[in-house]
Amino acid sequence: MEIEGTIKLIDETKTYGSKGFRKREVVITTDEQYPQHILVEFIQDKTDLLNDFKPGQPVKISINLRGREWTNPQGETKYFNSIQGWRIESLQQQDGSGEMPPVPPMEAFEPAEDLKEEDYDDLPF
């Protein structure tokens, strides 16, 4: 699955437990009639994917939906959902993106005056 939107917030990487579990969260604001603020978490080595991004930047994030079950000490079962990102791409145009350069105005060109009639007759039909 993928979601698109503008980065609202990028949190710092946080480390948990003795094994060094890492997690970093980003909030994306969708661009629709009723914008949604979606929290996406990146874990372990994927936390570094957010290093080159900034708030206000339009992005597309590839995500997985995760769900888990937990039973508290009183025996009640609870369910939790999370959205985990595994790829993030900028939606802004990059320099050298393959777009044609702008064409200079007509006044920048000199008219060709040395053309002969036979120059126009080079078509094979």
Distances (CA, A) of 62 to 30, 32, 46, 112: 14, 18, 12, 54
Cα gap 37→28, rounded to integer Å:
6
Question: pTM, whole model, 2 decimals?
Answer: 0.69
Res 112: pLDDT: 66
Query: Domains in the chain, please, with CATH?
Result: 2-92 (2.40.50.140)
The percentage of residues in the chain with a pLDDT greater than 90, rounded to a whole number, is 73
Per-residue pLDDT reduced to its tens digit, 81-119: 999 999 999 997 655 555 666 776 766 666 666 666 665
pLDDT confidence bin for 73, thresholds 50/70/90: very high
DSSP string for residues in the chain: -EEEEEEEEEPPPEEETTTTEEEEEEEEE--SSS--EEEEEEEGGGGGGGTT--TT-EEEEEEEEEEEEEE-TTS-EEEEEEEEEEEEEE-SPPTTSSPPPPPPPGGGSPPP----GGGG-----
Res 92: pLDDT: 79
Under 8 Å between Cβ of 28 and 6: yes
